[in-house]
Amino acid sequence: MFVEHLPDERGQAHTLEAFAAALLLVAGLIFATQATAVTPLSASTSNQHVENQAEIAAQDVLTTTETRGDLKRALLYYDDGFVGADNGDHYAGLMNETHPLHDSLEEAFDRRQIAFDIDVYHPDPTAAGATDRTRMVDMGTPTDNAAVASTRVALYGDDRFGTDDEYILSENGSAEYFADPLGERDTLYTVVEVRITAWQM
């Protein structure tokens, strides 16, 4: 009797064991995929969208602020470092509310938890073909999946800069402004490139 019934009970135990093993394996697989693939920064479908979106947002911010003149105002908002800078001569985060770029950057990046750097590249007149970089906003080192957008802004000799526009580029620029003049000419002062690097935090 006992010998005959034993195989039935062992079969049930094996089935239970099998279910437990299957669950363990599937859970392990799910855990593995969760841990590796699906974060906003890893190479996946969602990451592509995030990256594309950040690039478009950065380009749009540059285009609209350039058309409105805010970008140029921001570049000329400079008096021994960018005005209101909280980290030496540049901003460490979003600028305060009086800054011409505050609203655009807040809407495009800050509210969506996207970090950004803004660098200004300008030609170095002392060496042919060389460019210098001045930081406007430095939020840290971008990730590998950061998006980049840039535009160029021409600055003219009659543009005024400073906290209250008290300086004129053609007169005070070479001494007070971060970008050096291209030459002796008073019409075109220099051309700078503004570059936004944006990435998901």
Contact between 31 and another protein by CB under 8 A: the answer reads no
By DSSP bridging, strand 114-123 and strand 131-137 are antiparallel
Tokens of 176: 């007070």
Q: Which stretch binds another protein (CB under 8 A): 1-9, 71-79, 80-88, 98-106?
A: 1-9
Measured CA to CA, the distance from residue 2 to residue 4 in angstroms comes to: 5
Report the site for another protein in 168-197 (rule: CB under 8 A): 170, 182-183, 185-188, 190-193
Interface mask (CB under 8 A) for another protein, residues 94-123, using x and -? ---------------------------x-x
Q: Least separation, in Å, of the C-beta of 38 and another protein?
A: 9
Q: Which helix (H) or strand (E) holds 105?
A: helix 102-108
Closest to another protein by CB, 99 vs 135, is: 135
3-state SS assignment for residue 6: helix
Residue 62, token pair as written in the block: 């540059």
CB of 132 closer than 8 Å to CB of 177: no
For 109, the 3-state DSSP assignment is coil
Q: Which of 1, 45, 164, 175 binds another protein (CB under 8 A)?
A: 45
Compute the C-alpha angle 125/68/201, nearest 5°.
80
Binding site for another protein (CB under 8 A): 4, 7-8, 10-12, 14-15, 17-19, 21-22, 25-26, 29-30, 33, 37, 43-45, 48-49, 52, 121, 123, 129-131, 150-152, 154, 156-158, 170, 182-183, 185-188, 190-193
